[in-house]
Structure formats: structure tokens, C-alpha cells
Amino acid sequence: MSDPSASVYQERTYGAHQIGYGQRPGIIVVDFQNGFTDPQYPLGGAPLIRRAVDNTARLLEVGRRCNVPVATCYTAYNSKKDMPYWKVAAVMEDLVEGHPSTELDPRLYDPDYDVAMRKSGASIFFQTPATAYLNKENVDTVIVTGCVTSGCVRASIVDSFQWGFRTIVPEDCVGDQDDRPHQDNLRDVNRRYADVTDSAEVIAWIESLRGRNAPEDG
């Protein structure tokens, strides 16, 4: 993530520390629902989101195999009456409960494992049981995946930080409609709230935890 203003922020101590990993990961999956992942819908199927779906599927497979808690969410409303003042026409038209665009993408959602929740705001933590669930599972490190980077993903990163979790963002597991806001927002949260890395590093960390926690033979 090339940044011509990096020296200005460094002089003012932004990004001076890495947050690092804790001992108990949890994965949050933000809005990988058909409305964003299926190209038949106005907001669906952007290249960065398709890439994020593929990489998140691999991360989730490892996470579930290693007993990592997974919280997944979708955005939907009872009707247009209870929607906030969105400026995105496709949200206003499609994201009403029961519309196919609100269904979670089956490539990423395991109903027998994941804890799924509906949200009405940008962040997965806004008026949902996400924080309570992660605390119950003793999670100290939240891995953020989903879409879109500049909207609901960023809001979820900020809330994860505000709830006191170590926050890790694999860049290739989040996506946006365009690369520029994707990179700009990741660059910014990396200065302030989270460590931005990639799926390979996160997968290796999760697998290393399983190895350390495995019972010894004998």
C-alpha cells in the first residue's frame, strides 16, 4: 500500500506499534450475502469482492477445522420504513428481509457451525449479539473479513477496536467496489486501529495455535 503521506503520519507516531495476535481468535464475516457477492444484483460481484470470497472460504475452512468461533452477518430490514437514510439506491430497493439478496452466500456460511445475525447498521457489532458471543467464546483477537472495505468492514474494524479486541484484517479477505477506497481505508485503519496482513499469515497463525494446543502423545 504505497502512501506518499506516510512520512507525515510516521512523524506524528501513527502506526508506531503492531497490535499483534493474542491467544484466542474469532472470525467475523461481514455482509457476504448474495446482494454483494452475486453479479446479478446491482452491488454484486465486484472483482475485489470475488477475490475476498475465495480467500475467506479458505480461511474459514481452516478456522472451523481448528474450532475458531465464526460470527457472520447480513444486512436487511423489515421494510423501507425501518431503514436508516441510506444513499445507496440498491440497498433501499433490495435489502428487505426475504429478498434473495439478503441470503448469506452458501460458499461461506455453514449453518451448522457459524453464528449468524442480521444487522441494520454498518458494523456487525451495532445492536447485534456479536460482542456477547465473542466474549462468551473468550476471543481476544478478531479477524475481520467481508465487504465492503470502505463501508461496513471499516465500521466493524472500528467497533472491534472500541470493544477492546486485537483486530486483524487480512487484506485479501475484504473487498470493495474499487481498489482505491479499498486501499485508502486499509491504509488508514492500519495506522490507527488494526494490523493489516494477508490470509496466508492468518491461516499459519491459526494452525500454529492448534499445534500448540494439541494434546501431547504418551
Q: Which residues are catalytic?
A: 152
The number of angstroms, rounded, from the C-alpha of 38 to the middle of its chain's C-alpha atoms is 18
Number of other CB atoms surrounding residue 115 within 10 Å: 18
Helix (H, G, I), strand (E, B) or coil at 147: strand
Give the chain's radius of gyration (CA, Å).
17
Q: Are 114 and 139 in contact (CB under 8 A)?
A: no
Which residue's C-alpha cell is 483477537? 141
CA 51 – CA 172 distance, rounded (Å):
7
Name the residue with cell 455482509: 31
Rounded to whole angstroms, how far apart are CA atoms 180 and 101? 25
d(CA 49, CA 206): 23
